[in-house]
A and B are shown apart, each in its own frame.
Chain A
Amino acid sequence: MSTLVTSVKAPAIDASQREQLESAWRNKPGIAEWFSVTTHQAIGKRYIVTAFIFLLLGGIEALFMRLQLAAPENTLLGPVRYNQMFTMHGTTMMFLFAVPVMEGMGVYLVPLMLGTRNVAFPRLNAFGYWIYLAGGLLLYGAALTNTLPDAGWFAYPPLSGPNFSPGKGVDVWAQMITFTEISAMCVAVELIVTILRMRAPGMSLNRMPMFCWSMLVQSFMIIFAMPAVMVASTVFLLNDRTIGTHFVNPAEGGDPLLYQHLFWFFGHPEVYIIFLPALGMISSILETHSRRGVFGYPALVLSLVGNGFVAFGLWVHHMFATGLPQIGEAYFTAASMMIAITSGVQIFCWLATLWTGRLQLTAAMHFIFGFIFIFVIGGMTGVMLASIPLDLQVHDTYFVVAHFHYVLIGGALFPLFGAFHYWFPKFTGRMIDEKLGKIAFWILFFGFNLTFFPMHIAGLHGMTRRIYTYAAEMGWGQTNLLATAGAITIAFGGVIFIVNVLRSLSRGARADTNPWEAGTLEWAADSPPANYNFVNLPLITARYPLWTERSERGIVVGMRNDRREVLITTLMDAEPHHRSVLPGSSIWPFLTALGFSIGLVGSVAAFYWYYIASVLGMIGLIGWFWPRQPLDIKP
């Protein structure tokens, strides 16, 4: 091993070194290259932009729902369209927006924060994105042919079975899940390996940024949770619908509750999969804008890990009304309340950080405060829902709708928007307009509460979920009108945010590498980062490398810069282990994804397309894994 890791004073950047890196990590122009890119910044950005488009589509679906419900006995949408609308809204938001956007942020930021040049499996990264895109195109392409699923985002059988959901809509839904879950698992696998084996030397686990911890726990959760939904939707439901099995057909010995158990075994961790990266984002933003390291790092890490474990023990709280034995249900009450402890500890640590920090109230910080307000309300209603008697009154009513929007939007979306404002200079090289950002925040905050707070009341007053209309004498008209007004306000706030982004992209002030004077490594890279992230890989001696004295910062020397080389380090203490060559651009991930996608999309129509998927996918994988001599790997 000829790599020397030393704490020499960081020398002036060697121009020829930079040139070598530029050429080794270059993404050539042209359309063929665009399909072959494997650099994590590009793929991360693709995830984020695509997910954002799905957010807008899901928001439009929500607006339609709210417009229909604004008045009693409204005729904007009939039952067919309304059922399709709420199914698409839930499916889009949960599968096509929330998880992929967090993955995208992870894919972009984690290598930067860890002080390495790319994720562990760049081609798998690209493959994951193309599969995700294919899944989204499947669902919305089906929308173009009026083949919309309408059994809800959870598609309980027997309603979603072949008898009660005729046509191909639910088949499309079930197969789309395959795509999004494969994509999530690809990213999970590569992030785990990146975080555990590719950290900069000296970045022992207790020096790793909180965001990386949250992505690590989230990735493990994905690996354990996603297979459950693939089994429920693809093996059970899709086979029942297409090849005549009876897994979840009650009339012939199957059990609809089996589906529910498996679905919610995934479904509950799913919301924590969405939530955990946001927790990491909050820590990052909060510590920088409080100008101190976040308080209670060990407690925060343990809470994250605890959150990840306990989240797998809660799923029956979605099934309290199904008549399961009381003693069993009581266990899930206890677990569902206990998870408030792990979230609570994190909030206490952040409050402690706020109390002893020197606060900078940027737009990102506004979103953090918004998170605290909204998420704590959602957490409180969550504790109420954990109690079985209370849940039996408000389950499947708008009270639950209010609760989960409070925790998901407050707990994930607001931190995400804060993250967009915070990392905008890093992603784009321009400063985002703070004033417009704060205006967008206030409109979103006000609109959100106007939309969802009245829903608590509507739910307590008996308004059930998934109803396309209601009679005037029910007395729900006023609260629904308020909620619709709020929804329009949210849309307005979203528009302002988009305007802000577009304006700042073209006219924002140029950002230097560390406009917030933050402490973590991503702020040492250029804004936006070069494909290779850092000219010299850093040596880490503290939790906040950029807050250490310049004289104490070290670099890694001895790496080759004429090819895509990264340093693999040990798991606990990140001592250098060996150098690894990463592949450059490759068309094979795209072709493999294309092959599988063609087959899986076709399988909705006829079973033999699975064979086509196998053959085409196998061709792609052969090309992908075609053996090459390591030293011949060209960038």
Chain B
Amino acid sequence: MRLLAVGCCLIALAACQRERRDLRPSPTSLAVFGSAGRESELQPGGAQPDLNVTNPYQGSAAAIAEGQRLFSWYNCAGCHANGGGAIGPPLIKEEWTYGGEPANLFDTIVKGRPNGMPSWGGRIPEYQIWQIVAFVRSLNNKEPKSATPARNDTIQQDPGALLPKSGGGVTK
């Protein structure tokens, strides 16, 4: 009987992270320039303990899906296409110039990088940056396969506005 209860608890934990939907980000993740954005390890007042920055949305299917949407809406695809790279470098790779860990990706997006990567800090709220980080990681198979969508609905660029942009009306 107890074994059954333990088994049920274990099963219940199995999907916890994947099915999580944190609709409202916690206040701390709304702060701009989280502590992962520092350039130097030197700080006044003595050594500070190393902060282990993890992606709060790691493994969450809803966050990865939202990151996929934001990737398109904030026009990351404009330079990086769907991960294969266009005028910007590809985002599916083993060797990352500025590091491929979640904290590094967060850093890159917040601060920008030389030769064209804009600094999104102060524009995109932190929690959304983490969602985009989760999505980029999922492109590299670093997120659990079960939480990663099998495909994007829109592989082609510019999927929106399927109505013709020209007029077609009769009013003067």
Contact = CB atoms under 8 A, between A and B. Distances in A.
A–B touching in complex (CB under 8 Å): yes
Contact of A241 (B11, B14, B150): B150
A249 B152 CA distance: 10
B113 interface: no
B11 A141 contact: yes
B155 to A, nearest CB: 6
A1 interface: no
A144 B19 contact: no
A146 B16 contact: yes
A249 B153 contact: yes
Given A145-B15, A161-B153, A606-B145, A166 B159 contact: no
Contacts of A152: none
B79 interface: no
B65 A80 contact: no
B110 interface: no
Instruction: Name the interface size band of chain A.
Output: 20 to 34
B149 A162 contact: yes
Interface residues of B, number: 28
A139 to B, nearest CB: 14
B32 to A, nearest CB: 27
Contacts, number: 77
A12 interface: no
B20 to A, nearest CB: 8
Contacts of A167: 15, 18-19, 61-62, 147
B12 interface: yes
Given A244-B151, A251-B156, A147 B145 contact: no
A146 B12 contact: yes
A168 interface: yes
Contacts of B15: 142, 145-147, 167-168
Contacts of A249: 151, 153
A506 interface: no
Contacts of A31: none
A19 B169 CA distance: 87
Contacts of A145: 11-12, 14-16, 19
Interface in A348-391: none
28 contacts: A80-B21, A145-B11, A145-B15, A145-B19, A146-B12, A146-B19, A147-B15, A148-B19, A158-B153, A161-B153, A162-B150, A162-B151, A163-B69, A164-B65, A166-B62, A166-B64, A167-B15, A167-B62, A167-B147, A168-B146, A240-B150, A240-B151, A246-B151, A249-B151, A251-B153, A251-B155, A252-B153, A605-B146
Interface of A: 80, 141-142, 144-148, 158, 161-164, 166-169, 240-244, 246, 249-252, 605-606
**What 6 A-B pairs are tightest by C-beta distance, nearest first?**
A166-B65, A166-B61, A162-B149, A145-B15, A167-B61, A244-B151
Given A243-B150, A251-B154, 14 more contacts: A147-B18, A148-B19, A163-B68, A163-B149, A163-B152, A166-B61, A167-B61, A168-B19, A249-B153, A250-B153, A251-B156, A251-B159, A252-B153, A606-B146
